[in-house]
Amino acid sequence: MDRSYLAKRLLHALIIAWGVMTASFFLMRIGPHSPADKYLATLGAGHNVSQVTAAIESRYGVDRPLYEQYFNYINSLLHGDWGWSFSTSMPVSDLIKIHWAYSFQLIFLSSILAIILGISLGIFTAARKNTKADHIATFFSFAGISIPNFWLGMMLILIFSVKLGWFKTYYDTGLPMFSLSNLYALILPVITLATGMVAGYGRFVRSSMLENMNKDFVRTARAKGLPESVVLRKHVFRNALLPVVTIIMLDMSGIIFGGAYITEFIFGIPGLGWMSLKAVFSDDYSVVMAVTLIGAFVTLFFNLVADIAYTYLDPRIRYE
Amino acid sequence: MKLAAYYLERLKGNKTAIIGLAFIIFLVLTALIGPFFTVSPTQVNFSEKNLPPIGFSSEQSEYSAKVGGLVMTNMHGTWKHPLGTDGMGRDLLSQLISGARVSLLVGLLATGLAIVIGAIIGVSSAYFGGIADSILMRFTDIMITFPFLLLLILIVYMFGSSLALIILSIGLTGWTGTARLVRSETLSLRTRDFVIASKALGASDLRIIFYHLLPNTISSIIVLATLSIPGAILAEAALSFIGLGDPQVASWGNILNAGQNDLQAAWWIAVEPGIMLFFTVISFNFLGEGLRDAFDPKGDYN
Amino acid sequence: MAKIIEIENLRKYYPVTRGFLSKKRGDVKAVDGVSFFIQEGETLGLAGESGCGKSTLGRTILKLEEPDSGNILWRGRDITKSRKNQLKEFRKDCQIIFQDPKSSLDPRMTVGNSIEEALIIHDIGAREERTRMVGELLLKVGLTLDYMPRYPHELSGGQQQRIGIARALAVNPGLIVADEPVSALDVSVQAQILNLLMELKTQLKLSYLFIAHNLWVIRYISDRVAIMYLGKIVELADKDELFENPLHPYTVALLSSLPGSRNRKVLRGEVPSPMNPPDGCRFHTRCEKKLDRCVSIEPEMKEVGKGHFVMCHLY
Amino acid sequence: MTSEIILSIENLKTYFFTKKGIVRAVDNISFDIRKGEILCIVGESGSGKTVTALSILRLVESPGKIIEGKIILDEDNLLELSPHKMQDVRGNKIAMVFQDPHSALNPIFTIGDQVSEAISAHKSCNKEDASSQATQLLELVGIPLAKERYHDYPHQFSGGMKQRVVIAMALACHPRVLIADEPATALDLTVQAQILDLFLELRARFEMSIIYITHDLGVVSEIADSIVVMYAGRIMEKGGSRDVLGNPVHPYTKGLMGCLPSEKGIIIPIPGTIPGLINPPAGCIFHPRCVNALDICRMERPPMTKITDEHYVSCFLGGVNG
Amino acid sequence: LERDSGNKTKDLTAGKLGGTFIEGASGADAETLNWILAADATSLGYISLAFDGLIAYDNKFNIVNRWLKNDIKTSDDGLSYTVTIRDDLEWSDGKPVTSDDFVYTMKNLMFADWMAYTYAGDWTEEVDGKSVFVEPVVENETTFTIKRKTVDPEFLYTVTDLMIYPKHIVSKYEGDVKAFTQAPELNNLSYTGNLGPYRYKEWIRNDKIVMERNPDYYLGKENGEPYFENYEVKIFGTSTARHAAMEAGDITNTGIDPEQVMKFKAIPSIKVFTVPTTGYRVLQYNMRDNGWEGLKDRKVRQAISMSISKEKIIQDILLGFGEPAFSFIPNVSPWYSEEGLSKIGVGALYDKTRAKELMKEAGYGIEKNGAIQVIDKKGDKIKLKFFTITGSKVHESMAYLIQKELGDIGIEVDIKFVPWETMLRKYYMNKVPGSDQPARNNNGPRAVSEEPWDLMYAGQSTDVLQPSGTEIFFVTDGGLNTSGYSNPEVDALFKKVHSKEALDVTARKKIYAQLSKIISEDQPLDFLAYPTANIAFKSNIRGIDPGISMNYNYQEWYFG
Ligand SMILES: Nc1ncnc2c1ncn2[C@@H]1O[C@H](COP(=O)(O)OP(=O)(O)OP(=O)(O)O)[C@@H](O)[C@H]1O
Ligand SMILES: Nc1ncnc2c1ncn2[C@@H]1O[C@H](COP(=O)(O)OP(=O)(O)OP(=O)(O)O)[C@@H](O)[C@H]1O
Ligand SMILES: [Mg+2]
Ligand SMILES: [Mg+2]
């Protein structure tokens, strides 16, 4: 992997990020909403609605022409300023600093769990292809993929929190981040988020393994007289890993902005997902923009990592 | 068509796919004719609220004029409302049937829209190449990079939660997979001998696209569509679940959202639509995987 | 006899690009200055190693790829610069059949439709008439009418190849480029197809550009033979002349590597990459008789005997 | 040639149990191979050559299954060995080279790694030993600068070189029998010739027995000591190379030879195509394409008839029509 | 064995001190702690933890002074209000809170153009047809006077709501709204000194705010209040989570849904108080030109109200936690009077036959087979468009109940649920068609909303002490008179409330009684119910005085 390639990839990423930024910027501004809405509701007699609206819109700078706002936004972004969140009265960067950790711990734990369990499940089922164990595991994988995670979360709460009382019905931010009790509190959310991932990775690893098992080089390896375990571990798994790494990387952003969102919503975890959801509902442009951009960067970052990982794992690309 | 029959024959061997298909057919039929046999899903009856499903019972507080205050009554499921009722005494069975309509409508229309957009973009990108390809693919990249759910939430919040808008926005954001698939398939088909043969015969671009390229991507598109339908259904349910659903319709997501606050008093409101969602999604997944196998030329064995 | 097609100094390069900005890294010189002609009713065999540009040459003379330079004269008409819509006549006259019989047929079309497509594109006949013609074509390639409603996957490779031939014949062509039409087939079926092609040739006065790996197939079917190496034709002669009296060291080596041939001269070394072919004579890296100038000076095509051309400094 | 029999296949049946039915890929075949001999299995595509080879190594995968038969090596029936023991046979006593060198090598490991792996699978030796032996092997099969190329990856090699690497892996433990499944078909003519030469050289050097699978009669005539002609999972004719090629008895063998241009430049194709193996024709499996077919051919499976000591044919017309 | 009384207090304090009080909340989090920018009640609620304000009301609406030293003095002519604050109030930096801070806050912030204070209108009066601000004047360190040119007896309540910023801190942001908005010390209340029982500690948005005990609290000097170490407000996404947290004892107090009351009452470690609220539920009738024409007729409105049973609403939807409403003044208000109220919707006035007759009288019904069939003037079935906001179970239930009730008299109701913003833009805001008026909540009698509507269900709340605030709904040019109601008599009476005549409390009460009567007869909207709330506490909390404003003495609560 040469430098110029990396540079080009970064440029590419920047262009995409710019596209995402621009699209979301204008998408949010063409909508009929305004940050002044919430004030309108409380206006009493004698108030001049349009005057107050104008005053509030000017307070937040949304009364300027769109292009001006756009360039201002880019300008402040370039200066490292993510803007002011008017729904929470704090700088967006502070907001993110406080809340990202809640998302991160959830996503990190779920991913680790999903990667370990998913890959094990995949190898297990592939090695026992078409046995009863495989069929059962396959069925559960399908179930795992198909179960809506918001419903799963609710059912976990219903059973384990409401009926059995083993867990709190909400995530308690009061717990110290690095403590067993915090880990315990994250059990249900992690299960909620990880179930689909485990099942998905399991299926994917299985099919990737099976695909590689049919390869000629596996037959060659067997013909060499290698023990089956070595054949599976070395020749099949290492090759099967290639697409798995890519999928996991590409999946990451989807998880963060799909499953994690909903999971945070159900368990009341004040992570970035929940933050941005609330921000959408309060027309807090700068927060939504920031989260969108972070999302885009995360996606692009993981794409890049996937590429680099691929290059690292696959000599055909490494030595191009 | 004989070819269809051939694939159907292959599909028949796949038990899970057939189960999935059967459930989907059942669901479609229920959605179509169910409303003729059940009460209206909006018919409220406060004296029958929070009735549990048949075979269950639950304690409910009720206002008693006699006592002049609350009394606890033990409710039992009745055949009138086999799946119970919600907090307004609306029949859950008929709500679920109405939800099936919504989900199927969303799944089919949104996926259809996404497929059409994706196919057009994918084919044009691959066939015309050059600048058109670059622009379209960059655009696709941007769409893919957009945090999908956030985008969806944003659009629906911005422009109002009507079913039509929800379908439209799921369709408008969900085409990227199809575009990439169709593009890559077209790129590889384009160099296949039968396309070259057609060119050698002097066939026009349009003829090649419509008679050779698109028909040959159809099987992948069908598989992708089948596997995307649950995605669309879940997207609508997720939107409804977080409160952005169309309040005018009883979609499963809406029922779930309402049930979320009643988990303690009436668990079935949240459980039932979830089960329906689960079965629907798993059925489409089963069917999709089955179709994939059926269309897969390697699938002759096993 | 009239030349049905003549090409002069034809070139086709494929740019090799990489990365997101598609930076050009060089060209694959798939066809790099090739001239020859084919007469009516003649079969020109074309042999050479994998990747030397045979298929590209075949496709380029049919204008399925735009040539980068050189001329294509079709029955005396220069069609190099013609646009798609001006090529209708040419398209009717020059057809192609392929190596892989399976992929040369649209898997979603019935055999009948595949053949009929040729007629539809060229507006030949009304519906019933077309059906009749398709039937005739099927019979001509040794199949029966039952095949019309079948799909390609229901046929064997040999049968598929017959359909491919029928489709090419549908427009009554004068020239058929046959790109390894039998290499994918079993020996017994190969023989059937070869005989069919021979029969059709005499029956319909066809010309072939016949591309093959297999030298016995070339020898069997061709009138003249061209040997290609790395984008260039290095030797061209009448069939018997070439096989009895090969001149170019590459031809000699190629013929000697035929199984069962007496004095084996196994070529050492690898085929160089067509992206940066060696300077001078392209074969010099593997040639046993290499001279000093072979390394730097590219030899010209010379006529060394009647109709025997060779591109080598030795002659 | 009367050297000792090294490997003997008896009544081997390998079937594939597919959804559509049972594919009788190898249906009751027997043949022997002697020490230092090159035995060619010829036959058209789908005639069961590869399955035969895989059956010998017990590498047939589901839905395929070896139904019955014996494969005797050193008085052991390979089909009765424990999986663990069988592992020791593979690569060690019997090695195999596959058709497509491009896919036979694992793309993500180095050439050297894959060759030395074949050594250390059977010999307990340390890493350096294995790698120096591997380098020697690579030199042996004609890889120039073997030491330097040891750490290269397969994609950096050309097809011919890859096939040499695969052969080097097969030679790793000096097997007694080397099965080569169309090792040259995927390669260019000039490279094909190189590989053939290599095989002849190896045989001369190590006194190996080689089962060489091909459908090219030209190749057969060049290298075979004895020949097995397969058609649709069954052996039609087998015997010494000179007998079979010089005096073909079975109509199929004759047909195959007719497909090659004769001195006069004429080819006579065999009509029809190879039958499906799920519902094969009754009787002689070749009868639908046989110009000489008798009524009995449609009903009964012809037995293996001896023509000379070394030459057998499975045809009711055995010898009669020759 | 006599004890020193000072010591006694200390001992008592020591026993009470400690613990964290956690209030379980639902809904949206506060937007800002910078009070002047706040548009939501949650924000003001958080701020008040650190910031007492001039006074508090107890459950009987008696004034309890907080920052005030003496009661506010209203001059006899009703034109000036004199406020005297305590002299022991301090900002965090030790500087005393002075009347100058108050006057500065009013003049330079609340009344300043650059700030665009949302409630600035409350501080204006109409003088010579122009709207001008009242005039605050510093009298001395701790006393200031607010002067008016016109009499408004209810202005007193506006004054009691007064809040402040420290002049010496805020003045550096003056004129720069962006800097003011983003000023860290204003956003984290670091200036509040001894002004409230708690001090800002931590705020995790959309999750919780934690305030810590303010040891310097000016009221605590004598008794050591407040007693809780921390006061926390925890936000829950679902009521399931909130109820479960209460049940498990993870939180100290929260509101309880009616369905859950029985269950919670049975838990010994929890006590549930049922208290009145200031809110009420209404069904609005659109009397504008894009509503059904019949609604302009009082008889029709009465008929509709008459067919909706308030008792049913209370029993079926509120499970008995509520009382029927007939007036815009909640029954807990000191201004409430039953006299002359038409009690439509209960007892004899819940009468569908009467309703039909009334419809017929108004011309919307014909006699058929001895029964009255309600139809519109063209002879078609009457179909009314009903709107309410999405996402509330109570709203939904109300919608269906009303639909059912009106269905009984032959009026078809078509229910639509729309989000709040849509409601606001498309159904509330109106303008005269074809004009280039900016849309407002009331653009005059000829104005119409973008989308037509007939009925709208909403929750409203009235300032129980100052019901005239509600005039914006009822007077012809009222700022929130979205349904186009106009009755000169009502306009005049509301004017009277703000006149000298009403300075006399009994006179004012009479005016209110008259207003209630007229409005209840007119039925510009159907007052449905005054709901009551159920609030659960851990039973070991001491010091609670349950009632409508039970929080008034929360700084005295402690864990027993
Ligand atoms: N569309 C293309 N784009 C880029 N390179 C191409 C393309 N088609 C062919 N090439 C390259 O051009 C060279 C000649 O290819 P061509 O297919 O003509 O060879 P060939 O002689 O037909 O080989 P074979 O015998 O394997 O069919 C090869 O190096 C090939 O990789
Ligand atoms: N995995 C499998 N499942 C089902 N049938 C199989 C399988 N593998 C091989 N067969 C069948 O077994 C028969 C023999 O196949 P085999 O690969 O041995 O042929 P071959 O003689 O090696 O042909 P080729 O010359 O094409 O390599 C074929 O008819 C094939 O369809
Ligand atoms: Mg080719
Ligand atoms: Mg084979």
pLDDT digits (tens, 9 = 90+) for D273-301: 888 888 888 889 999 988 888 888 898 88
* Number of folded domains that form chain B: 1
Q: What mean pLDDT comes out for the span E27-39?
A: 88
**Pocket flag, ligand 2, residue D275 (CB < 6 Å):** no
Side chain identity, residue A127: A
pLDDT tens readout for residues A139-181: 999 999 999 999 999 999 999 998 898 998 889 888 888 899 9
Q: What mean pLDDT comes out for the span E154-169?
A: 92
Ligand at shortest distance from the CA of C47: 1
pLDDT tens readout for residues A72-109: 999 999 998 998 888 888 999 999 999 999 999 999 99
End-to-end CA distance of chain E: 26
Q: Establish if E263 touches chain B: CB-CB under 8 angstroms.
A: yes
**Pocket flag, ligand 2, residue D276 (CB < 6 Å):** no
Q: Which of D107, D109, D121 sits opposite A224 (nearest CB)?
A: D121
Q: What mean pLDDT comes out for the span D107-113?
A: 91
According to the model, what pLDDT value does residue A245 have?
85
Task: Answer yes or no: is pLDDT of B138 > 70.
Answer: yes
According to the model, what pLDDT value does residue B300 have?
46
According to the model, what pLDDT value does residue B119 have?
92
pLDDT tens readout for residues E446-491: 999 999 999 999 888 788 888 888 888 899 988 888 899 999 999 9
**Pocket flag, ligand 1, residue C152 (CB < 6 Å):** no
Which H or E run contains E285?
strand E279-285
User: Tokens 């009420």, residue?
Assistant: E280
Among C67, C95, C94, C96, smallest CA distance to C9 is for C67
Please state, as a whole number, how many other Cβ atoms lie within 10 Å of the Cβ of residue B247. Answer: 23
Distance from CA of D43 to the nearest CA of A (A): 22
Task: Answer yes or no: is pLDDT of D185 > 70.
Answer: yes
Show residues of chain C in contact with D253, CB under 8 Å.
none
User: Do E490 and E519 contact (CB within 8 A), yes or no?
Assistant: yes
Distance from CA of A260 to the nearest CA of E (A): 16
According to the model, what pLDDT value does residue A49 have?
65
From CA E205, how far away is CA A102, in angstroms rounded?
A: 12
From CA D45, how far away is CA D277, in angstroms rounded?
A: 12
Q: B243, E391: Cβ pair inside 8 Å?
A: yes
Please state, as a whole number, how many other Cβ atoms lie within 10 Å of the Cβ of residue A233. Answer: 13
From CA E101, how far away is CA D265, in angstroms rounded?
A: 117
pLDDT tens readout for residues B289-300: 888 888 876 544
Distance from CA of B300 to the nearest CA of C (A): 12
Confidence of residue B157 (pLDDT cuts 50, 70, 90): confident
Q: Which residue stretches of E120-176 are H helix?
A: 155-160, 167-170
End-to-end CA distance of chain D: 24
According to the model, what pLDDT value does residue A197 have?
92
- CA nearest ligand 2 atom 18, residue: D48
Burial of E65 (0-12, 13-18, 19+ CB in 10 A): middle
**Pocket flag, ligand 2, residue D21 (CB < 6 Å):** no
> B27 lies in a domain?
no
Q: What mean pLDDT comes out for the span E220-239?
A: 90
Among D120, D93, D118, smallest CA distance to D208 is for D93
> B263 lies in a domain?
yes
Confidence of residue E363 (pLDDT cuts 50, 70, 90): very high
Task: Answer yes or no: is pLDDT of C48 > 50.
Answer: yes
Confidence of residue D18 (pLDDT cuts 50, 70, 90): confident
Q: Which residues, other chains included, contact A130 with Cβ-Cβ below 8 Å and sequence gap of 6+? A: D62
> B184 lies in a domain?
yes
Window A:270-299, CB contacts with E under 8 Å:
270, 274-275, 278, 281-282
For chains B and E, having 3+ Cβ pairs within 8 Å is answered yes
Tokens of E474: 């009822």
User: Do E150 and E134 contact (CB within 8 A), yes or no?
Assistant: no
According to the model, what pLDDT value does residue B301 have?
40
User: Tokens 């079913």, residue?
Assistant: B163
Q: Which of A219, A239, A316 sits opposite D59 (nearest CB)?
A: A219
pLDDT tens readout for residues A9-53: 888 888 999 999 999 898 888 877 777 776 666 655 445 666 777
Domain carrying residue B204: 35-50+85-282
% residues pLDDT > 90 (chain D): 40
Mean predicted lDDT score pLDDT of chain D: 88
Confidence of residue D263 (pLDDT cuts 50, 70, 90): low
> B245 lies in a domain?
yes
- Contacting partners of chain B (3+ CB pairs under 8 A): A, C, D, E
Report all structural domains of chain D as residue ranges with CATH numbers, in order of start.
5-93+225-314 (3.40.50.300)
Q: Establish if C205 touches chain D: CB-CB under 8 angstroms.
A: no
What is the domain-level CATH number for residue B195? 1.10.3720.10
End-to-end CA distance of chain C: 29
- Contacting partners of chain E (3+ CB pairs under 8 A): A, B
- Match domain A93-313 to its CATH number in 3.30.365.10, 2.30.110.10, 1.10.3720.10, 3.40.50.10490: 1.10.3720.10
Q: Which of A22, A140, A146 has the most B C-beta neighbours within 10 Å, making it the best mutation to test the interface with B?
A: A146
pLDDT tens readout for residues C185-206: 888 888 889 999 999 999 999 9
Show residues of chain A in contact with C16, CB under 8 Å.
none
Distance from CA of A69 to the nearest CA of E (A): 15
Q: Which of C186, C192, C256 sits opposite D44 (nearest CB)?
A: C186
User: How far, in Å, from the CA of C8 to the mean position of ligand 1?
Assistant: 20
Q: Which residues, other chains included, contact B22 with Cβ-Cβ below 8 Å and sequence gap of 6+? A: none
**Pocket flag, ligand 1, residue C212 (CB < 6 Å):** no
Atom of ligand 1 nearest to the CA of C228: 21
- CA nearest ligand 1 atom 22, residue: C55
C-alpha E415 chain-centroid distance: 27
According to the model, what pLDDT value does residue E4 have?
42
Show residues of chain A in contact with C19, CB under 8 Å.
5, 8
Burial of A177 (0-12, 13-18, 19+ CB in 10 A): exposed
pLDDT tens readout for residues E166-194: 999 999 999 888 899 999 999 999 999 99
For chains C and E, having 3+ Cβ pairs within 8 Å is answered no
User: Do E97 and E163 contact (CB within 8 A), yes or no?
Assistant: no
Q: What mean pLDDT comes out for the span B144-148?
A: 85
Tokens of A237: 């798994």
Q: Which of D189, D218, D274 sits opposite C213 (nearest CB)?
A: D189
> B264 lies in a domain?
yes
Task: Answer yes or no: is pLDDT of E3 > 50.
Answer: no
Burial pattern E176-193, b for ≥16 Cβ within 10 A else e, equals ebeebbbbeebbbbbbbb
Q: Establish if B15 touches chain A: CB-CB under 8 angstroms.
A: no
Which segments within A79-180 are labelled E, that is strand? 84-85, 90-91
Q: C104, B194: Cβ pair inside 8 Å?
A: yes
Q: D265, C220: Cβ pair inside 8 Å?
A: yes
Tokens of B103: 């989900």
From CA C187, how far away is CA D229, in angstroms rounded?
A: 14
User: Do E105 and E165 contact (CB within 8 A), yes or no?
Assistant: yes
**Pocket flag, ligand 1, residue C177 (CB < 6 Å):** no
Atom of ligand 1 nearest to the CA of C58: 18
User: Tokens 């798609």, residue?
Assistant: C84
End-to-end CA distance of chain B: 25
User: Tokens 């409603």, residue?
Assistant: C149
Q: What is the value of ipTM here, to two decimals? A: 0.86
According to the model, what pLDDT value does residue C20 have?
43
> B24 lies in a domain?
no
User: Do A272 and A294 contact (CB within 8 A), yes or no?
Assistant: yes
Atom of ligand 2 nearest to the CA of D44: 25
Higher pLDDT, E441 or E305: E305
SS3 E133: strand
Q: Establish if C269 touches chain D: CB-CB under 8 angstroms.
A: no
Per the document, the length of chain D is 322
SS3 E124: strand
User: Tokens 């949650």, residue?
Assistant: E42
pLDDT tens readout for residues D28-47: 999 999 998 999 999 888 89
List beta partners, residue C26.
C16
Q: Tell me the whole-structure pTM to 2 decimals.
A: 0.88
Task: Answer yes or no: is pLDDT of B241 > 50.
Answer: yes
From CA B151, how far away is CA E9, in angstroms rounded?
A: 60
> B76 lies in a domain?
no
Distance from CA of A12 to the nearest CA of C (A): 8
According to the model, what pLDDT value does residue D82 have?
92
According to the model, what pLDDT value does residue C18 have?
58
Q: Which residues, other chains included, contact D257 with Cβ-Cβ below 8 Å and sequence gap of 6+? A: D217, D245, D248
User: Do E235 and E25 contact (CB within 8 A), yes or no?
Assistant: yes
User: Do C248 and C69 contact (CB within 8 A), yes or no?
Assistant: no
* DSSP assignment of D126-188: -HHHHHHHHHHHHHHTT-TTHHHHTT--GGGS-HHHHHHHHHHHHHTT--SEEEEESTTTTS-
- Contacting partners of chain D (3+ CB pairs under 8 A): A, B, C
- The CATH 1.10.3720.10 domain(s) of chain A lie at 93-313
% residues pLDDT > 70 (chain C): 95
C-alpha D261 chain-centroid distance: 25
For chains B and A, having 3+ Cβ pairs within 8 Å is answered yes
> B154 lies in a domain?
yes
Show residues of chain A in contact with B260, CB under 8 Å.
154
- CA nearest ligand 1 atom 18, residue: C53
Task: Answer yes or no: is pLDDT of E422 > 90.
Answer: no
Q: What mean pLDDT comes out for the span E360-377?
A: 90
Burial of C131 (0-12, 13-18, 19+ CB in 10 A): middle
- CA nearest ligand 2 atom 7, residue: D16
C-alpha distance from residue A25 to each of A21, A22, A289 (Å): 6, 5, 7
Task: Answer yes or no: is pLDDT of A194 > 90.
Answer: yes
User: Do B233 and B257 contact (CB within 8 A), yes or no?
Assistant: no
Q: Establish if B298 touches chain C: CB-CB under 8 angstroms.
A: no
User: Do A198 and A117 contact (CB within 8 A), yes or no?
Assistant: yes
According to the model, what pLDDT value does residue C215 have?
87
From CA A218, how far away is CA E215, in angstroms rounded?
A: 75
